[in-house]
Amino acid sequence: MNTIDRIMLKIEKAQKLLNDVRKELDFLKNKVNLSKKKQKQPSDLPTEEELRSEYNRLYSEFVHLNDKKIVHDFVSEKNKTYLKAFCKANSIPVDVKKVSKNKIAEVIINWFVQRKAITKKAT
């Protein structure tokens, strides 16, 4: 086997290896794209009506038991995507991406306290 044949053989092996690497890279790109699509699916979230109902249920528990822990527990067991939808559906002005869950709970509690005070004045 002469030098040219050895070089040609090495080129063929390199091309085969490059093709294998490209296939693996395409597979990984597809896998990453699929996982991104799964994360962004809002269909896993409840409807706005359900989120408002959840807000009213939480408010009722807060008023009847007079316990802030209920709100903190609720917020701590939810993920940020759910909390973002929850706050948006109930017009609670908090940027869920920038604040901690503890701060979100405090904002919700403040809304509940204000609502309770307004309700007492109205009756």
Q: Which of 43, 110, 45 is nearest to 80 (CA)?
A: 45
* Span 26-79, pLDDT tens digits: 888 888 877 766 665 555 789 999 999 999 999 999 999 888 999 999 999 999
Is the pTM here over 0.85, yes or no? no
The answer to whether 80 and 99 are in contact (CB under 8 A) is no
